Each structure stands twice: as C-alpha cells, then as structure tokens.
Amino acid sequence: MIKSLLRLSSSLRNRIILIFFAITIVPFILFSAYAHTKSVEGIQQANATFTMSYLVQSKINLEAYVDKLNEQMNELIGDKQLQSLLEQPPASSQDEVSASVDLLNIVYQKKKQMDALQLRVYPLNADAYPTYLRALEVTSSTRKEDWFRDAANSTLPFWHLSVHGGPNNGPLVSYVKTFTSLHNRTPRGLVVADLADNHFSRFFSPTKRLQGQKFLIVDETGSIVYDSAGNQWTGELLPSAKLLEMRNVAKEGVETLSIYNEKNLIAFVRMDSLPWTILSLTPMQALSEPLAAMQHLLIFFLIAYMICTVGVVIYLTRNFTQPVFQLVKLMRKLEDGDMRMWIPHQNRKDEIGWLFRGFDSIVRKIEDLIAQSTLAERTKRELEFQVLSHQINPHFLYNTLESIRWKAENHGRNDIGEMVSALGNLLRLSLNQGKDITTVGREIEQVKAYVQIEQARIGMPLRVLYFFDEELLDMTFMRLLLQPLVENAIQHSIRGNFEKGKVILSGRVEERDLVIDITDNGKGIPEEVIKGLNETGAHRQPAGRSGVGLRNVNERLKIYFGQAYKLQIETKEGKGTKITIRHPILPTGDENQAETSGDLDLSKMEGRRSGGPGSSRSAG
C-alpha cells in the first residue's frame, strides 16, 4: 500500500490530484464517517437500554406464567381420586373402563382451569389401562420415545420440544413432571402440559419499526425453543458460540455479533426459575435505517465536492501537468535514442512554452552532432580500409601466387600447388574486393581454405564439419567472422590432440536473426580471456594470442549491430567450447549495394543497433 502511494506521488500530476483530494474529499469523508458512527452508537445505546428493560419485564411475566402452570399441575397431582385410580390397578376389564372414564373426566376438568394447549396424564403402569391410553391416542411407540423413558426414570421436571408436533405442524413445547404416590415415593405417572407458540408470543411483540427484529428462547443446551419470527430457527442450535459462552458467564448483557453473516445488536437475559435464556436480535441495518436520509444528503454533498474537485484537476492537468508529462515522454524517447520524434510547437509565453522550445532546440543540435560523428566514423573506417588495401596490389599478388602454383605442378609438387592455391583463395575471400558484406557461403569457403592450409602445414587431417542448409549459404553476412573463431579453436583448443579433436560449424534461423554455432571438444577457453572480452577503456587488460580473434569478432559485432549481438560463449575446462554468433538477417539488396559501392550501408545498421534479441539460445 505504501509503495503504491509512493509511486503515485512520484508524478507532479498525481501529486496535484492527491493534494486536492486530501484537502477537500478526505476531510469531508472523515467528518461524515465520524458523524455516522456516533449516530449509530447513540441509536444502539438507546435501543439496548429499551430492549434490556423489555427483556427483564418479559422474563418476569413468563416466569409468573410458568409458576402458575406448575401450581395447577401440582394440584392435579395431589388430587386424591387421581392418586386412588393409579395406586390400585383395575381388577377387571369393566373396572378398567370405569377407571379410564374417571381419569379422563379428572384431566378434562383440570384442563379447563389451565392456560395450556393440552393436558395429559400417563400412567406408568400403562398395560393396566389400555382403554385410557387408546382414548389418549397413545401407542406403544410413544412409550418408547426418549423423552417418555427419560421422564419415567427421573423425578425432576423438564421441558421437551417437538418441532412439528403442534397445531398446523408447528412447534410444541411440553412441560413434563413425574409424580409419585401421596403415601410413598413410588412413581405413578407423568403429567404433561403442552404449550403452542401462541402461548409464548403473548410475552414478546417485536416492534414494527425495526425490520427483522426477533426474540428467541434458548434452553441450557443452546437449542432454540421459541422464535418470534415464525419459528424459523426453532429446534436449531443457536448459531453463535460466543453468545452461548457469554450467557454462561453473565446473567444479562448486550453485544454486537454476526449471525448468519448479518450483524446484529443482541441483548440477553437469563431466567431464574427456568433453564432458559431470552434473547433479542436486532439487525444493525434496521437500526441505521433512520440515518438513511442524512446519508443521502452527505452523498449528495460528496458528489458535488468530487465534481468540483475533478473539474479543477482537469483544468490543471490539461493546462499544466499534461504538457509537462508530454515533455517527460519526449525526453524518455530521446533517452532511448529516438531522434525522429515529433515535438509539438508551443506558442505559450509562460515557462511551459520555454521548456518545449528549448527542448526542440537541444534535440536538433544533438541530431546534427550525431550526423557529424557518424560521417566522421564512416570516413575514418573507409580511409583505414583503403590504407590496408593499398599495401598490397591484389591483382599482382593473385598472378604471383598463380605462377608459383603452375611451376610447382610442373615440377610434380602438387602439394605445394594446392597450398598456394588455397592461400590465394583465402586472400581473395579475405579482401572481398574491399567490401564489408559477403555471404555465408563465401565465409565458409574462406574457412575451408584456411583449414586446407593448416592441414598442409601440420601434415595431418583436421576434422572440421559443416552443417548448413542451402538457403542459408546465400544470406548476407559480415566478412571475417567465422575464420578467426575457427582459427582460435584449432590453434588453442584442439591443438595437441588433432586425432580426437573436432570443430563443428552449424547454422540456423531464429526469428529475425541468423545464428551460427562454432563448437569444439578441446581444452576450453580460460576464464580470464572471457572476462577480458567485456572490459572496455582503461579496464581492458592486454589480450593473449588466444583472445585476439575473439575480441576482434566480438568488438565488430557490437560496433555494427549493438550490445545485443555480442558473442555468446559456453565453455568448460577440458570439456570444449561453444561460441554462438547472432547476426541480423539483412535484405539481399544490402549485399548487391555493397558490391557496387564497396562499403557497408551503416544507416541500416544503425537502425538495428537499438533492437534485436538479448541472448543467444543454445542449439542441441
């Protein structure tokens, strides 16, 4: 984040934009955020206070209702007739029917006095009362349910939730108590009072102004017993472990938590006489809804501020920073060597106009200096080559060598004749009629002539292999690049082991370049020689005999085609050397022009110095 801001602030235009935003938009946004935060906090605090008071009152009312329900159930349990009917099982079926009628009448009369959906009494000795159980629609499966077995084996009352056991397939909360005989502690039966959701909804009425507010009753295990919002979550575990932990620590509290990815203001109160906790969930979005009008007003002002700021920034950018930015781009083009760029004329009388006119004048002067320098360098090389060419008359030298070869053959010394013929061919190809550009085929002929002379001189064959496609031989190529490298390989790498030594020349085309590899299996090139190739000026060390040919070829490639076309060398002591020459593919016309003018077209070479691949890819 910090690095991104630093990069943005590096430009004058971006600085102006950042400053305007900092002094206009940022303070407004901060003030709006602060006001909104404080407003939400005030609403939360007021809502929390009101909700907590409401929950405490609901707790008192609900506990009073349950206490009364418990008293009524205890009155039923203490009924002597009920106890008498359950203490002594019926002796006959007729007595059983009579007892069942009496039990139903007792339960029915008590039900009319109780505020419950249904009241039921289950004898624990169920087999002795089949008629009564059929009237209650109790089957053997009911007695096998977990809650029935737990109640029969416990003397403590508990609450049982049936999610789909109530009216309209709704939830049903049952209050279950096991009772014993009045004379001893022998269990006699179960009393069950069923409560539907409407028995709880009378104690909780969410306000319509807070959309989404709901009240929950959660038991000691974290299961939701009652949900005021249509029992959406009834029977599920409360989806907040943190809230359950808070409930176990404190009897009441207020907290802001996320439930089902929705942020809620939650208030809770733990009941005293019941194993329940009452919760109120109010979505934060509903609390902040009254602030919507103020937010709209703030957004309107924010948009107005942004429009004004953007207008000022556009004005400054178009009239000041954009011209400066354009001038910077022109300077970068000049830095990259692009001297043909178009510089717009500025009629402005301020500092921006002075900068453009001054920059245009500087570029024109640099162009003139480069043209003069290029012309001087070209003239210098032409004069140097003429001096070398005039040291020997090529026609005189060719005729003399031909006479020597003719006389040698007349005296039966064909070996001398072949050696003189190869020397003449080597000299002819080296001079190349004073031209700097030749073809790949002529360069290979020159290498073959040199190898022939070396074989005659050392008196043993040399293994030099050539792998070039026919179409490569006619491609234009700078002269005297291959022979010095082959000579270096023969004289300094495979020398002393000509029986096993081998030099391989291979060529290929990669993209827009001609790539030639010279590979040998000799001793390798010393590391100091390779380091010396890249040294320039005062740091350049004197090259040994093994480095002269390499440096000559490397310097010529860099002078004509740029740094990207220097030699690529892979060598290892005792494992051989691989030297890669990367040469741009020149149009065929370059060679033809060189044949007529006797010189290399430097204007085309200058255009290629700034481009080209940066490295040579090794061939297998």
Mean pLDDT of 14-24: 73
Q: Which ranges in 279-413 belong to alpha helices (H)? A: 284-288, 292-316, 322-335, 351-390, 394-410
pTM, two decimals, is 0.46
The rounded distance, in Å, linking the Cα atoms of 306 and 294 is 18
Instruction: Using the predicted structure, report yes or no on whether residue 492 has a pLDDT greater than 70.
Output: yes
- pLDDT on residue 450: 85
CATH of the domain spanning 463-609: 3.30.565.10
What architecture (CATH level 2) is domain 50-292?
A: 2-Layer Sandwich (3.30)
Could you tell me which residues come within 8 angstroms of residue 18 by beta carbon, excluding any fewer than 6 positions away?
A: 8, 9
- pLDDT on residue 607: 38
* Model confidence pLDDT, tens digit, residues 500-522: 899 999 999 998 899 999 999 99
The rounded distance, in Å, linking the Cα atoms of 438 and 422 is 19
For the record, the structure tokens of 194 come out as: 């069923």
Q: pLDDT-based confidence at 138, cuts 50/70/90?
A: confident
Nearest to 556 by CA among 370, 385, 367: 385
Rounded (to 5) percent helix, strand, coil in the chain:
55, 15, 25
Q: Over the chain, what is the mean pLDDT? A: 78
* Model confidence pLDDT, tens digit, residues 407-437: 667 666 666 666 666 676 666 655 555 567 8
Other C-beta atoms within 10 Å of 515: how many? 20
Instruction: Using the predicted structure, report yes or no on whether residue 377 has a pLDDT greater than 70.
Output: yes
The rounded distance, in Å, linking the Cα atoms of 226 and 281 is 13
Which of 6-20, 205-219, 287-301, 390-404 shows the lowest mean pLDDT across its residues?
390-404
Q: Taking each helix axis from N to C terminus, what angle separates 93-113 and 26-77, rounded to the nearest 10 degrees?
A: 140
The rounded distance, in Å, linking the Cα atoms of 160 and 172 is 8
Instruction: Using the predicted structure, report yes or no on whether residue 453 has a pLDDT greater than 50.
Output: yes
| Residue 371 amino acid letter | A
Q: What percent of the chain has pLDDT over 90?
A: 16
Instruction: Using the predicted structure, report yes or no on whether residue 64 has a pLDDT greater than 90.
Output: yes
Q: pLDDT-based confidence at 474, cuts 50/70/90?
A: very high
Instruction: Using the predicted structure, report yes or no on whether residue 255 has a pLDDT greater than 60.
Output: yes
Better-scored residue on pLDDT, 241 or 579: 579
Token pair 């069950």 is found at 192
- pLDDT on residue 407: 64
- pLDDT on residue 605: 39
The residue extents of the domains of the chain are: 50-292, 463-609
The rounded distance, in Å, linking the Cα atoms of 581 and 599 is 22
Residue 450 host element (H or E): helix 440-458
- pLDDT on residue 7: 59
- pLDDT on residue 521: 92
